[in-house]
Amino acid sequence: MARARTPKRPRGGPSGDELVLLAWNDLVAMTRGRAVPVSEYASRRAVGINWAMAGHALTPFEDIADNPWCSMDEVHMTPAEETHVRFEVGNGQPAFNMALCDAITTDGGTWDSCPRGFLKGAIADLRRRHGLELLASPELEFQLVGGTLPEATPFSLEAFRLMPDLGQRVVEALRATGCQPETYEPEYGVGQYEFSCAPAFGVAAADRIVLAKEVVREVARRAGLRASFTPKPYPNRPGNGAHIHLSLWSGGKPATHDPSRPGGMTEKAARFAAGIVRHMPALCAFAAPSVPSYYRLGPHHWSAGYACMGVTNREAALRVCLPSKGTAASVHRRFNLEYRPADGTSSPYLALGALVRAGLAGLDEKLPLPPLVQEDPHDMGEARRRELGIRPLPTSLGEALDALRADPVVCGWFAPNLLDTFIAVKRKEIALCEGLSPNDICEKYRNAY
Ligand code: GLU
Ligand code: MG
């Protein structure tokens, strides 16, 4: 008797029914979307899918904040083809197939509240006003939860070899999706790991952060675990940072490093850095934008407690990174600034866009390089900090939102609807956490991120 045959798939590609998710990463750094069969994808590429503007006011939970949009307001979420990624997850499961979208209005322009559009605008201004390109890369820490997790010493070979296949699959999947993984390591916490990716220019850097996190979540999912990028998985255990490395380029050449100048920075890089340091308290609203962000952010956690910069200083919010050995040309290329307050609850588009806008303000105003802090800014004491003009970073999400509202320059970078909705969503998150213990809050965000 003839055996039933499984229908053949076309060689070398997905079947027409395979789903591709048209996705976007919203104000609260949630990747949401709507899937269409691959056979429909080509026609969808031009028109996108409709999505209610009000959907951008969703919290990471089952709640939505007050927002200015009515029930008829829609945008066309339109995939940016260069973000389309696909990788086989194995075990007979459908491939991971998605593309990131821009929010386009009915008249064909970019919606003024589109986070990806916000970053694109900042990058275009950096190019137009100063002839500079932004190169950025992520260093992402995550916590594995669920399943049976190995108990192992921080950073140890033991912690690495207890889950070697996971690391291997993470790197393979990141490579297959063009995220260009560079390093993978066990971190401080039990079940905490970290990876970094090569830098990318412009908006592709933020796309890479979004995609890399989703790819790693998918790999963990297939292993029966969750990879959580929450800033503080448990109240008394190490935090997860999402540090962003930045450098400036001009005419295809690195433009950040000048070993003859203070901190080894070119004049333009120094001004760019000065803008970031000046607006640091308000920037926290975008970089550390959740309630548990402030269980992580603070002195003596190598996250950051103060608005300052220093050379190789892991307690400074902006750290000048000196590349490991290499030729002069390679050091020149790899020299970068690391912005440390960012965590995994931040929208890479809003956080990176705000950093670029802050750097632009520094360039426009020709700000001088801030003091280079070569000691622990907490330990130097308040009198010395005041002398150097070093301010503390916010200690709660509420304080960060107040710092944002108190900084008219930062507020001015955003379309009013985008800013007001972002703040409303964040206030709603604070309200939803009211009365909960730190443990419950950590759990709530651990499950969401
Ligand atoms: N886990 C630290 C943070 O929350 C960073 C540690 C490191 O320097 O890698 O930012
Ligand atoms: Mg680390």
pLDDT in tens, 14-25: 777 999 999 999
pLDDT single digits (tens) 271-299: 999 999 999 999 999 999 999 999 999 99
CA of 231 to the centre of ligand 2 (A): 12
Res 197 pLDDT > 70 = yes
pLDDT value for 20:
96
DSSP codes joined into one string, 212-224: HHHHHHHHHHHTT
Which atom, in ligand 1's list, is nearest to the CA of 139? 9
Give residue 153's pLDDT band: very low, low, confident or very high (50, 70, 90).
confident
Q: How far is CA 145 from CA 142, 154, 190, in A?
A: 10, 16, 10
CA distance 134 to 238: 30
Residue with the bigger pLDDT between 164 and 152: it is: 152
Residue 302's DSSP bridge partners are none
Tell me the angle at which helices 115-130 and 348-364 cross, rounded to the nearest 10 degrees.
20
Residue 147: predicted pLDDT: 78
Give the pLDDT score at 13.
Answer: 61
302 lines ligand 1 (CB under 6 A): yes
List, for residues 30-76, the tens digit of each pLDDT value: 999 999 999 999 998 888 999 999 999 999 999 999 999 999 999 99
Distance CA 422, CA 118 (A): 13
CATH code for the structural domain at 19-54+72-111: 3.10.20.70
Q: Which CATH class is domain 118-448?
A: alpha beta
- Domain boundaries in the chain? 19-54+72-111, 118-448
Pocket flag, ligand 1, residue 155 (CB < 6 Å): no
Query: How far, in Å, are 400, 404, 430 from residue 397 at the CA level?
Result: 5, 10, 7
* 297, 301, 313: residue to mutate for ligand 1 pocket, most atoms within 8 A of CB: 301
What is the rounded CA–CA span in Å between residue 83 and residue 394?
A: 34
Give the whole-number percent of the chain exceeding pLDDT 90: 88
Amino acid symbol at 380: M
Ligand 1 near 186 CB (within 6 A): no
Name the residue of 139, 140, 141, 232 to mutate for ligand 1: max ligand atoms within 8 A of Cβ.
141
The beta-strand segments (E) located in 308-371 are 309-311, 318-321, 336-339
Dist. CA 441 → ligand 2 center (Å): 23
How confident is the prediction for the chain on average, in pLDDT? 94
CA gap 266, 99 in Å, rounded: 37
State the amino acid at position 139 in one-letter form: E
* Average pLDDT rounded to a whole number, residues 188-209: 96
Residue 178's region, left for phi above 0, alpha for psi from -120 to 50, else beta, is left
Structural contact between residues 291 and 397, judged by C-beta atoms closer than 8 angstroms: yes
Is residue 2 over pLDDT 60?
no
Q: How far is the CA of 276 from the centre of ligand 2 (A)?
A: 22
Nearest CA to 195 among 139, 246, 149, 259? 139
| Ligand 1 site, residue 241, Cβ cutoff 6 A | yes
Task: Examine the pLDDT at 206 and tell me if it is beyond 90.
Answer: yes
Is residue 367 over pLDDT 80? yes
**Residue 142 in this model has a pLDDT that exceeds 70:** yes
* pLDDT single digits (tens) 251-272: 999 999 999 999 999 999 999 9
Distance CA 251, CA 364 (A): 19
What is the per-residue pLDDT across 69-97, written as a single tens digit (0 to 9) for each?
Answer: 999 999 999 999 999 999 999 988 999 99
For ligand 1, is residue 305 a contact (CB within 6 Å)?
A: no
Q: Which atom of ligand 1 is nearest to the CA of 304?
A: 10
Handedness of CA 84, 245, 143, 165 (dihedral sign): positive
Burial of 390 (0-12, 13-18, 19+ CB in 10 A): buried
Distance 341 CA to ligand 1 centre (A): 9
User: Measured from the CA of 243, which atom of ligand 1 is nearest?
Assistant: 10
The DSSP call for residue 23 is E
Would you call 79 helix, strand, or coil by DSSP?
Answer: strand
User: Above 70 in pLDDT, residue 12?
Assistant: no
| Residue 9 pLDDT | 44
Pairing of β 96-104 and β 19-25 = parallel
Alpha carbon distance 170, 196 (integer Å): 11
pLDDT, position 10: 43
Tokens representing 74 are 């829609």
Could you tell me the distance, in angstroms and rounded to a whole number, from the CA of residue 272 to the centre of ligand 2?
Answer: 25
Expressed in angstroms and rounded, the spacing between residue 13 Cα and the centre of ligand 1 is 40
* pTM (predicted TM-score): 0.95
pLDDT value, residue 151: 80
In this prediction, residue 5 carries a pLDDT of 52
End-to-end, the C-alpha distance of the chain in Å comes to 52
φ and ψ at 150, to 5 degrees? -70, 140
CA distance 331 to 257: 8
Contacts of 121 (CB under 8 A, 6+ apart): 353
According to the model, what pLDDT value does residue 7 have? 42
Tell me: pLDDT of 105 over 80.
yes
